[in-house]
Amino acid sequence: MITQEQYRTRVKELLSSGTVKMVIGYKPGSTPDRRRPLFIRTAEEANRLVLDSACITNLSGYLVTEGLLSDEKKVAIFLRPEGIRSINILAAESQLNADQIIILGFDSTGSVVKTLDGTHAGDFSELLGSIKQNSPVKPSEVLFEQVEQMTPAERFAFWQEEFSRCIKCYACRQACPMCYCRRCIVDSNQPQWVNTSSHTLGNFEWNIVRAFHLAGRCVECGNCGRACPVNIPLRLINRRMAQEVIEAFDHFPGLNQTQEPVLASFKKDDSETFIL
Amino acid sequence: MTKILFTDKLHNCVEKWQSAGLTVIGPVQKANSSSYATVKNAGELDFNMVLPDRSIKELFFPQTEPILHYSIKKQEINTRESLPPNEPRIIFGARACDASGLAIDDPLFGWDYKDEYWFQRRNESVIVTIACTKADDFCMCTSLTLAPDSTKGSDVLLRPLENNKGWQVEELTERGREAFAKIADFLQESSEPAAPLAVVEEKFDLDSCVAWLKNPENFDSKFWKEISMRCIGCASCTFLCPTCHCFDIQDEGDTYSGIRRKNWDSCSFSLFTMHTSGHNPRSTQSARWRQRIMHKFNYFPGKFSVNSCSGCGRCSRQCPVDMGITETLQEISKLSQ
Ligand code: SF4
Ligand code: SF4
Ligand code: SF4
Ligand code: SF4
Ligand code: SF4
């Protein structure tokens, strides 16, 4: 609870001094285990903020919605390490100016919350570097292992079954900080690249598009999987893609703001004879 | 004495209905997600969940449905309408909110144009609702003038017995009576008492909310922006909602042949109102959220004299950012006091 108090005090300072125009954090939700995103503009509202281990949503996506940062004013935001990585990627992809973002960093182990030292994305590079070092080569999840062990045909059947439930609500896309495109490729109809229908083929198309467009950009914050109303285990796809990218390119997204996007960079001396 | 269907006879009933040509559908829990799905036998039905994650709507108005096949040759254009195959079915174990949702949408689908897809399935389906004996934090039928044992939209209402060994049977419509006549051999007269219904507290005062929404001054209230700041504009709430009914018509294929389909659409998407010019009359998420609330509790009742919400709670239960109809109407209740 010390952490929550520390942060409330800090938020009050930031708002009353006019350093930031808004703070994005968490407040209690509709059930004891739920937390909701909270946007506050005055110091008086700071006491509405909660900070505990149930604050899991990666809030960074709100920074790039509806021109929030277009007035060049600063915004403070509560972020876990994955959220800080998102800021770095958004900055590297020219979606925001990281100087405008004051980070209230935190992390948790069990129910214990700890603050992270630093205020700007650049201050956390050491921490992020060590996360890269310690990132698991293989996750401990049983289901992931099971899917890995499957034959291609079995794996196809597994995903066919999972994707058959998809209703194309695009909650996974909307919840993802990296899905900021003003016109998503699946919404484009001149030409219509991807069928809009939510039949098995259309669902496959969407989920494969999502997997590819997030490869090397996903920070595994879990927003997409938690958002999915039919509980498709999207984290398995994210994990697999993250693993591919680190194995093939030693690329761990979101380390800093100058990291080149792995699927959008090109080297003349690339050993491959083609690019995708 | 009441007519009772004992749980241990359900296997026989399902077989009987199936041999009479009915597809049997009911709540099924599968792969971490639940829905109303076709079952082969009674064992697949799950009566323990509060309600399925996905609503009954998709059985009548599927997320995607072919309506026309076309082919274009040099001198001729051929089109073939595609209606759903005839499939008489019984939906066993609907929830009162889901069944009510269908009844709420009937006038909509039959208003200026009679939607054959909807009504063919409506006419072919017997809806057997089980009154709820448990509810969760999100259930709010009672706030919408409904109840865990509402009969609206149902052909038969079953009340679970206190000893959990079966259901009291109340046949409500001719279609319901016919379906239950087929299983008459497996029904028994008995005086077993029904279990108490789920207690669902009223969450807001609907009348004052509706009055607030009807006041034109509130259309531009700053309330809309505040309440919907965190909405991420997905379609989870509209697609899971038993009464949301918007769809888009899309052609799949090419200039020479293809399929015209009817696909779910949602006013939460910015694309929903995007004009070809690029102008979007609902350019912000708050305008889109206002539309959802206004449509359900102002425009729809203005036209059909019923709110477009049955209180199933799915929009709040599943919302990725813990929003939903409930919170918004609770806040409006407060504003209008
Ligand atoms: S794809 Fe999912 S896990 Fe990855 S960054 Fe986006 S929301 Fe987070
Ligand atoms: S959130 Fe789930 S159901 Fe919705 S589009 Fe994504 S995968 Fe499909
Ligand atoms: S209210 Fe929730 S479920 Fe509905 S569009 Fe907004 S974020 Fe999605
Ligand atoms: S608006 Fe929400 S509570 Fe009402 S019927 Fe739709 S999903 Fe259920
Ligand atoms: S609330 Fe929106 S999606 Fe639902 S029926 Fe109304 S306009 Fe359509």
| Tokens encoding B267 | 């006013």
Nearest to A175 among B31, B33, B232 (CB): B232
Q: Which of A54, A67, A65 is nearest to A26 (CA)?
A: A54
Whether residues B78 and B145 fall in one domain: yes
With an 8 Å Cβ cutoff, are B322 and A61 in contact?
no
Q: Using the CB atoms, write b or e for B141-152: b if 16+ within 10 Å.
A: bbbbbbbbbbbb
CA B281 vs CA B215, B224, B235, B264, B271: distances in Å: 21, 16, 19, 21, 11
Q: Where are the domains of chain A?
A: 4-134, 142-251
Q: Check CB contact under 8 Å for B137 and A231.
A: no
Number of domains in chain B: 2
Tell me the pLDDT of chain A (276 aa) as tens digits. 678 999 999 999 999 999 999 999 999 999 999 999 999 999 999 999 999 999 999 999 999 998 999 999 999 999 999 999 999 999 999 999 999 999 999 999 999 999 999 999 999 999 999 998 887 666 678 899 999 999 999 999 999 999 999 999 999 999 999 999 988 999 888 788 888 899 999 999 999 999 999 999 999 999 999 999 999 999 999 999 999 999 988 999 999 999 988 888 877 887 777 765
Taking contacts as CB-CB distances below 8 angstroms, the residues of chain B near A195 are 250, 252
For B24-63, letters b (16+ CB in 10 Å) and e give bbbbbbeeebbbbbebeebebbbeeebbbbbbbbbbbbbb
Instruction: Inspect the interface and report whether the beta carbons of B32 and A231 lie closer than 8 Å.
Output: yes
Clarify whether residues B87 and B26 are in a common domain.
yes
Claim to verify: residue B157 and residue B287 sit in the same structural domain: no
Give the number of other CB atoms < 10 A from CB of residue A92.
Answer: 20
Average pLDDT score over residue span B113-126: 96
Q: Which residues of A touch B322 (CB under 8 A)?
A: 29-30, 34-36
Is B255 among the domain residues? yes
Q: What is the pLDDT of residues B161-216, one digit of tens each?
A: 999 999 999 999 999 999 999 999 999 999 999 999 999 999 999 999 999 999 99
- Do B17 and B8 form a contact (C-beta atoms < 8 A)? no
Q: From ligand 5's centre to the CA of A67, what distance in Å?
A: 26
> Residue B242 pLDDT more than 80?
yes
- Give the distance (Å) from ligand 5 centre to CA of residue A130: 47
B53: in domain = yes
Phi-psi group of B83: left, alpha or beta (phi > 0 → left; psi -120 to 50 → alpha; rest → beta): beta
Which helix (DSSP H) or strand (DSSP E) does residue A101 occupy?
Answer: strand A101-109
CB < 8 Å to B33, chain A: 165, 230-231
Residue numbers in A near B250 (CB within 8 A): 195-197
SS3 A234: helix
CA atoms in the 13 A half-sphere facing the CB of A107: 13
| B38 and B160 share one domain | yes
Assign B15 to helix, strand or coil.
helix
Q: Which of B190, B223, B243 delimits the end of a domain?
A: B190
Does residue B223 form part of some domain? yes
Q: What is the distance of C-alpha B309 from the center of its chain?
A: 9
Contact (Cβ atoms closer than 8 angstroms) between residue B169 and residue B156: yes
Contact B131, B96 (CB under 8 A): yes
Q: Give the number of beta-carbon pairs within 8 Å between A and B.
A: 103
Does B309 reside within a domain?
Answer: yes
DSSP category for residue B154: -
Compute the average pLDDT of residues B119-134. 97
User: What pTM value is reported for the model?
Assistant: 0.95
Helices (H) and strands (E) in chain A, counts: 9, 5
Q: Which domain, by its residues, includes B107?
A: 2-190
**B157 shares a domain with B45:** yes
Point out which residues pair with B23 in neighbouring strands: B89
ipTM: 0.94
Task: Determine whether the interchain pair B232/A31 forms a contact, defined as Cβ–Cβ distance below 8 Å.
Answer: no
* Interchain pair B234, A175: CB under 8 A: yes
Same domain, B55 and B26: yes
Position B299: which residue type? Answer: Y
In angstroms, what is the span from residue B88 Cα to ligand 2's centroid? 30
Domain check: are B32 and B121 in the same one?
A: yes
| B253 and B305 inside one domain | yes
Amino acid at B319: C
The confidence score (pLDDT) of residue A149 equals 94
- With respect to residue B195, please indicate whether it lies within any of the assigned structural domains: no
